[in-house]
Chain A
Amino acid sequence: MKILTFFSLFSTFLSANSINVEENAGQFFSSGHTNNWAVLVCTSRFWFNYRHVANTLSVYRSVKRLGIPDSHIVLMLADDMACNHRNPKPATVFSHKNMELNVYGDDVEVDYRGYEVTVENFLRVLTGRLPPSTPRSKRLLSDDRSNILIYLTGHGGNGFLKFQDSEEISNVELADAFEQMWQKRRYNELLFIIDTCQGASMYERFYSPNLMALASSQVGEDSLSHQPDLAIGVHLMDRYTFYLLEFLEDIHPASKANMKDLFKVCPKSQCVSTPGHRTDLFLRDPGSALITDFFGSVRKVEITMETINLTDLIKEAEQNPMNEKPQKVTYSYVDQLPVSEIIHQKPKQKDWHPPDGFILGLWTLILLVFFKTYGIKHLKHIF
């Protein structure tokens, strides 16, 4: 009898373990990203908010330099500083005083401009719920293996970001939008950078996995602007983005700098405000995440010197006789949102739990011992 119970216990244990091995193998092969996207948003209009447009364009320049193409960047600028009537140097937006660096140039592709930059459009871009007529350049066509960089700048407060002087997006809305993105499998990992006053309040409410966030100032602090240019008559950049840019200038596509270096950008002595970051939702160690994972589009490329022959000829399709009726083949779209798969998919477990089979076996053992000791006639007291 005892051997029987022991044997049944052992078998259940083995079966549970075998399920475990398959899972482990699956986890071993799924990681990393295959493409990069960037969503760069400037939310302020008016001439005296020149610096917000300069911020966004500077990040745009860096991201392009590190490899993300225009087709993978959604650039939203709420006002046109380059062609503003008050710009003494038309068709330029400078980010350094004495007009050292023109970040506008002649190959800027702005996807959302002027009054198109609204909270609704921003959320639609993130969640993908755009009308069918929206062109590709205005869509965030990311998938579950995309790493996305989201950069927001403008005027903000505790828990909100102001769009265009007429509406606001709250941190709850933003967190919900990211959760929608997670559930629709629209990102692999997401880096969120915000340069506004009290920026840390915007990432307080995030709850979706694989998010890392950086902000230029804590709640209750103002983010300050960097330098005015007297010839143009406005402030050109904000401090946090200025030092972020200096940091990014040293990054090239092959650099191994990681996120921990990014957290050190702009300490309080330079920024006056205290930058903050949030990594608890990020599943990897931030030290293992490279800067180029988000800011660049780095492909793992292996160069080989061997030649590969494509020896099989391509067969032509057989000609159908004219008198045969053309066959009707019904096509169907692949399910874009495979709900059944998602519902039944097990979430990734962070902590180790003992496998289910083991616990089942344990309770069976306890019950058997119990009934062995006290006899089977007590069974009716339980059921």
Chain B
Amino acid sequence: MAAVQDGPMELDAEKEAKPEILSDGTSNLSGNTASGTLSSSPLTAAPAGGAPKMEDQQTLIAVLQFLKRNKLSESVEILRREAGLGEHQEGSQATDGSGGGKGDGDGGDANSLLSRVSITSAAAPQSMPVKSDCIINIFRCDLPFMFMLSEDQPDVSVVLSAYSQQGDPPLYQVYYSGLKNFIESVLDCHRAELSQLFYPLFVHMYLELVYNNHETEAKAFFDKFSGDQECYYQDDLHILCGLTKKEHLKGNEVLLDFRTSRFVLHISRDSYQLLKRHLQERHNNQIWNIIQEHLYIDIFDGMPRSKSQIDSMSGSLAGEAKREVNKAKVFYGLLKEPEIEVPLDDEDDEAENEEGKPKKKKTKKDSLGSKSKKQDPNAPQQNRIPLPELKDSDKLDKIMYMKESTKRIRLGPENLPSICFYTFLNAFQGLTAVDFTDDSSLLAGGFADSTVRVWSVTPKKLRKVKSAGELNVIEKESDDVLERIMDEKTASESKILHGHSGPVYGVSFSPDRNYLLSSSEDGTVRLWSLQTFTCLVGYKGHNYPVWDTHFSPFGYYFVSGGHDRVARLWATDHYQPLRIFAGHLADVTCTRFHPNSNYVATGSTDRTVRLWDVLNANCVRILTGHKGPIHSLAFSPNGKFLASGSTDGRVLLWDIGHGLMIGELKGHTDTIYALKFSRDGEILASGSMDNTVRLWDSMKAFDEVETDDFTATTGHIHLPDNSQELLLGMYHSKSTPVTHLHFTRRNLLLAAGAYNSQ
């Protein structure tokens, strides 16, 4: 049980300057669940509250009890000695533990905890593989999640049985219309707020009817009131209207999500009082019960919000985010650039050749240098997340990048980028994912036929490294050994990578261009070498389709998200995930690393965007407002802002520091699959299924937002409807949906998509 001591040691280790990789606790997970849990728990601060220290001890005690029960007295001794626990402590803590500190009543005792997990995993019905698997995985990797889990996702029968208490079925319509009449009669300022209640109440009442086998009443209820609901809930209503049997409830994932999470509403205190008074006067217990049990009303003091304010924030599967979840501090600043000695003379030569003004260039470069030296106050500590050391080749690439960036075109409303379109021909509707390398030299495509293809978009052809036998013959000391190891015979414009057994939904190049990641329907993420063009690792863990994957901007780490509703953080040299980001109520559709690599953003079918802290796997932001599944995300280059695009054709802009929506870009008529900021962040490009690329003035969008204290604290923001002013250009392709966008280092916009002949 040396793992126990890993806890404090690890924290020390992270303070050391030497980069150490976040792998410590996870490597031994597969072997012994209990020890794995212990070692990783310090990393993951308990989300359900309570000091981590306390929880550690409780966990220890729980394990002790487990060992005792299984008559492993020797291990008990060792553990007790190493943890420094007294015999008496154990007993008292155990009783305390069951009493409080946990979200639910019986979660504290380790015995019940363990048995509970096994019951959950064993009892989960066959029709719900996602759930049960998810639970097992979470348990295996991070026990503290259990506490959250037991709060958020109790097992199915528990959830459904909440509906067992019921009123008189025919009266449901009366209750509902009574409330409706009341809300429609209140003052305008309150009406908008209270109208938020309609949808969750409607859904819960309908499900209650269905659960209690009142099929005809349920249908009648649905037909009468479904028309009143906001149009952005149409998709959910479609699913709902098909549900008429209790048996169907069990297998339906979407509805289960609705059940297991409390629908969050933001209502001002005045409006809430109004509502409460009304319900108490009428003794409308049915509705009051639902509100108590299934809704979470976040009451705030101040002005009631307007209809447009409410509409802009609502739409997600589980209502808005609770205000407190977005209070955590996010270090959105960029990390200090490593100091690399740029061969100055070289640079000047080039500058002279180009423009004949070497002096000017020099000053510019200096300013670049000074900028990188100054520590951004909002930046995380340099070694908050251990990052891989720079290799020589990385430094060379950085120098290249700096040189290129001096030639960068400054974009703006008057100076729009040129667009190059990479059209995939004869893809037969099979192109599913595209990525460019940062230096725009390689292009990768994922295809529905399980292949990944890599193209060189420069005249330099793709070559494999020679076979081991041939490599032995090579003179290792020669200067051009890197050239010699390449097999000229294999030079070709493109290479095909075979290995997946399902459509490839996500591809991502490593920043050093040595690796390529691909995620597929077959449940794996694969790492490919771009030297040998072979598969190096298959990362298994998701077990369900993996919708997206993305490399960290510093390499080594990557994130993946899939149908199992979790995003996972991996390191390339570990076959098991380092962190699991659980919390989304539906599939994780897209994943992006923050430019400083300390955070990960995920978009989901539950119509929320979440930001996760890589250090402790905490969810630090929940961003609601989208009305459809989110399919694209992009961080601004300065790390301050996030853009997200969804199936409803809207792009939303978010301020990460305040957790606020700061802009809405309307214009696209179909799903937005690609978003990208220009290199300096002045322009946001969006690409969509509607065959257009649109350019938006992101500078203006960010500048116009007044982020005074009031809006920052309440989160109520007036969004100006200025999409048309922000739209700088709209560019059509003939019949090619835009799947990917990329700005070259000199700010030329590259777009990619598959030509659709029909």
Please say whether chains A and B are actual partners in one complex. no
